[in-house]
Structure 1
Amino acid sequence: MTPRLRPAILILLTIFACPLLPGPLLPAADDGGELSPQDKLVVETVLRLQSFQLESSAPAKAAVLRYLRARLGSKQSFDLIRRFKPVEIAPDLAAFGLEHANETEGVRAAELLFAMGQQKRLLDVAEADDSERAMTAIALIGRSGRGKTVESLLPLVTSGETSMDRRIAALTAMGRQIDGQTQILSMVKETALPDELKFAAANVLLASPNAEAVEEASKYLSLPETADSQPLPPVVELAKRRGDVATGAKVFREPGTCIECHKIHGEGKEVGPDLSEIGSKLSREAMFVAILDPSAAVSHNFETYVLLTDDGTAFTGLLISQTDAAITLRTNEGIDRTVDREAVELFEKKSQSMMPQDLQRLMTAEQLVDLVEYLMGLQKSAEGSTAT
């Protein structure tokens, strides 16, 4: 028997003879599901054969792939993928990573895609039409790409064809890596960043653990001032603070002016998204970003449109409806304006959010923290109602 055939023969003997193995390697939880006892036994054997090559046995490979698809996310599945790198599992791995992007298992799945050279599956999602999944993919690449993060995301940051929210997300994700911060700082010094990206760049660089990077970045960038003329702390620092819910509710209605565009429990204007359950949808850090850099996370169906009529009148607002006969926009005052198609000179979607870009000027840093504390408490309850 040649050495090349020996592992395959051992697998076949395992399938048909079921030899006794000292102590199971797979956890008891793996006894459920649709896997056959033979598949489980094959995987047990494969785990014990240190020199086994998966391509040497088609039956063994088929059993391992069935196991991986049935148990994806388990430690054993990740161990098998790391060892054998079967490209056939890459689509399942990408889907799992995106579904669990904010969890340890999702990040591990994405790391394995990079290890297998299959990160393009995440990059394709980052460039696809589905904006929500794209933003998830970009953040996941930032958490898992390590040394390949910059080369993966830099094209998104620099592309003028990419929407501004994705460019901001890509820059922020790049900033998780020291080489990403170096690249961002270089772009800042070369004035290669558009104004819309400077807030995100400042948040990344001025919060860097590298003191030299902070000192150098501060020569070119600064965070905006708050209502009391104090510089705004980086988002990562703001997210560590805790505020007062009752005070935050007052900020929402008064100095923050949020109620002029958003509804909570039926109160307010329906210009932007309803925020009654916003605390269930965003992390604390993402909540600060949504307030301070709204173009970084423009919600689907809440993009800003600009309409110019043939008599020189301009409207800016959310698209409510469009037909062959007319277009209706809702302005930031909550007023719907309908224009006949024949009177439209220009109609286009903008990458910038209709939400004001400098809301921090209406609040102190403490009021901003209180506001976020209030919004984080707007949770969807288990029964489907909203808790405050």
Structure 2
Amino acid sequence: MKKEVIVIGGGIIGLCSAYFLQKEGHKVTLIDQSNMDSGASYVNAGYLSPSHIIPLSAPGVMKQGLKWMLNPSSPLYIKPRFNADFLKWAWAFNKSCNRDHVNKSIPFIKDITLWSQVLYDDIKKDENFKFHYEKKGFLMLCQTNKILEKQIGFAELAKSNGLDAAAVSLNDIKELEPNLAINTIGGTYYKCDSHSTPGEFMKEMLIYLKNNNVSFYSNEKVLDINIKNKLITSIKTNKRTFKADEIVLAAGSWSGLLSKKLNLNLLLQAGKGYRINSYKKTGITIPTVLVETKVAVTPMNEFTRFAGTMEIAGINHDINKVRVNAIANAVTKYYPEISLSEEEKTDVACGLRPVSADGLPYIGKSEKCSNLTIATGHAMLGWSMGTGTGKLVSEIISNKKTTLDISAFHPDRRF
């Protein structure tokens, strides 16, 4: 049965949901409050990373966040505030930071990230897309023995879960990256990972959807959602009223605010990240994380992107220059011959990643609303899980058995 579907949100999750829904023959309308040319889907590191099998809410993360609270340049910053939504999220997040949660989460994260890579391949081939997409693996560079030992342990965990991962020596790293000086003592290498240039994919997908009968309403903010007998009857924006058979909530960091209109307990916080682009020749050819500083480095199409920080401080797009400088300083610390200019740092951009209370996305239907499918909360893995999430959304709305077990992603799960 073909349906009329409204997708709220024009980021990677919303676009991929629209893509697979229209492939199923549904009539799709997409609403976004922005001009759909900026945000987390455009400024992320472009990683397709099965290697990131450990959820954000891992043992020690909250403790480390508290230690870094007074350090304005720290990789993780959690701004304390007397806000009920934040306090509920922080309590639940802290409860999730345990080994049992990590072990239960790994197979779910691995399955959807690996599947998403396959779906990126399929989309590029089927639609003849030209977006930059390479499979060169992924490096984790370390500067201290303590951190190196920890990363080797993570690589061994990934390998035990079937991923192609291994420790690499300084000589190995020089062979992988022969054209630049690197200040490191060793690291790990994940051959299972790949990378892309996000803006290129987003642009091609937007063009494709517009040419394939998906209706777009940009710069429209959802003001109200009317619900009766657990059924959404209409959606009101600042310009008009919409009605549809099914609704997809894929509004990223704004999903939590919209879920309140449906009386849903969707614990979600915005996690701000920054990116600096350099159009100079850096010599970097393999995506890399500078582990101690948690800065992501990606060789994209005609430029290199340096991205980092997780700043949980509410929904805002304020640029903190201290954090921008921290990213730039980390680059030179690991790559002594690379220095980011003031012009490059001034051209910084940020995006808000939706962070759930346990580091896992919300994908599926809530018992509180029968015609709503939720797809948000992916934290730093929205790009890695984007295509898989979109496909799952289309399967759910088409009343098909989902390809993957999504029980760990249930929107009504308790923390």
Shorter-chain TM-score: what band? under 0.3
Structure of higher CA gyration radius: 1
More strand by share: 2
- The normalised TM-score by structure 2 is 0.19
- Greater length-normalized contact order (CA 8 Å, ≥ 6 residues apart): 2
- The normalised TM-score by structure 1 is 0.19
